[in-house]
Amino acid sequence: MDTITKRSMSVCVVIVNYNGGATLTECVRALLASTVKVGIIVSDNGSQDDSIAFLRASVTDAPQLSIVENGENLGFAKANNVALARCRNDYVLVLNPDCIVEPDVLEHMIEVMEQHPEAGIGTCLIVNPDGSEQAGCRRLVPTPWRSMVRVLHLHRIIKNHPRFRSFMMADLPLPRAPEPVEAISGAFMFARRAAFEAVGLMDENYFLHCEDLDWCMRFRQAGWKILFVPQVRVVHWKGLSTEAHPVFCEFHKHHGMVRFYNKFFRHQYPGALMVLVVMAVWMRFFAITAWFMVRKPFRLRHSRRGATLYPGQQAQAGPDQKQVVTSA
């Protein structure tokens, strides 16, 4: 695909923000430096910090940037849908506000997707700040069986057996070329507009977590491939907006997993087994919650990891209006 064609295409980048601090502005600035045309929609879930005010003050001449103030926390799926419904570009990118995208990333993603017309959605190599591959970047679908294998560490006990594989793939060697995978992370989801319109918006019954797995399942059910592109990479400062409320996040993660199981696997497993699976999910949630309670006094002795990334961040009242769309 020639450079002129690639750069004539455009990408609508959707960013759901909730107390993203100064990192949100860093994310937007990086996108504005892209080598292809971008439109950026920030869907803000009633942030209590200064992330939106700082973005407006820092990015003053960017007509391609729109900010949607939802006025309350709608959840990740619904806030994405508010923005996705406005996208009219060739491609759509769902991006976390703590991801930093280099200027040529979107151009390379367009090039690969155009070379693979069977792919409806894809992702790149998502790495931690230390350069290691982030868990969940590429994965198998976490069926109830695969989840049990991982929770019980059976993949470590019975190695190299296909029935006892973990659904995480970060410990596998990187492929040399783009390859199909079963699921990708919601931190960076690059969708072809035609495929996205055929599959539809995200399931708003998920509040936080598992909506990305649901979307991947629906893309595959609609006949589209999901592509992992290892030659392209972004850095993801995972959890900067959620680490202050770990129990809240874990509750919605486990609630989302129960919905995911019931929606896609209820008819594949005996009813009694599904009951045991759901019980195991909630037992895991209560165990994790207990661990957070034990660990909390020790965590309070240390400053939050995000503090060094959010200079000057101060708490302030959220906006009263709902779904107000403004330019930067």
pTM: 0.85
Sign of CA dihedral 194, 198, 203, 204: positive
CATH number of domain containing 313: 3.90.550.10
Residue 204 shares a structural domain with residue 297: no
DSSP-assigned letters across all residues of 6-60: HHHSEEEEEEEESS-HHHHHHHHHHHHT-SSEEEEEEEE---SSSHHHHHHHH--
* pLDDT of res. 89: 96
Residue 197 shares a structural domain with residue 291: no
Residue 217 shares a structural domain with residue 292: no
Contact 119, 168 (CB under 8 A): no
Residue 164 shares a structural domain with residue 150: yes
Number of neighbouring beta carbons within 10 Å of residue 262: 13
Contact 27, 15 (CB under 8 A): yes
Q: Which domain holds residue 258?
A: 246-303
**Average pLDDT, consecutive stretches of 10 residues, N- to C-terminus, the chain (328 residues):** 68 97 96 97 96 96 96 97 96 97 97 98 97 94 84 78 81 94 97 96 96 98 98 88 76 92 89 83 85 67 42 35 47
Residue 146 shares a structural domain with residue 275: no
* pLDDT of res. 67: 98
Residue 287 shares a structural domain with residue 207: no
CA gyration radius for the chain?
20
Nearest Cα neighbor of 250 from 216, 277, 290 is 290
* pLDDT of res. 295: 73
Residue 112 shares a structural domain with residue 137: yes
Q: What's the count of helices (H) and strands (E) in the chain, helices before strands?
A: 11, 12
Give, rounded to a whole angstrom, the gap between the first and last alpha carbons of the chain. Answer: 33
Nearest Cα neighbor of 325 from 47, 88, 68 is 68
Report the alpha-carbon distance of residue 64 to residue 41 in Å, rounded.
8
Show the tokens assigned to 209: 């977590």
* pLDDT of res. 314: 36
CA angle 306-309-311, nearest 5°? 110
* pLDDT of res. 316: 34
* pLDDT of res. 225: 98
CA dihedral 147, 153, 157, 160 (to 10 degrees): 40
The contacts of residue 299 (CB under 8 Å, 6+ apart) are: none
* pLDDT of res. 311: 35
Contact 95, 191 (CB under 8 A): no
Residue 130 shares a structural domain with residue 276: no
319, amino acid identity: P
Q: How many domains in the chain?
A: 2
Residue 236 shares a structural domain with residue 159: yes
Residue 237 shares a structural domain with residue 323: yes
For residue 100, give the 3-state DSSP assignment: strand
Report the alpha-carbon distance of residue 88 to residue 255 in Å, rounded.
32
Contact 103, 31 (CB under 8 A): no
CA dihedral 69, 71, 75, 79 (to 10 degrees): -20
Residue 75 shares a structural domain with residue 171: yes
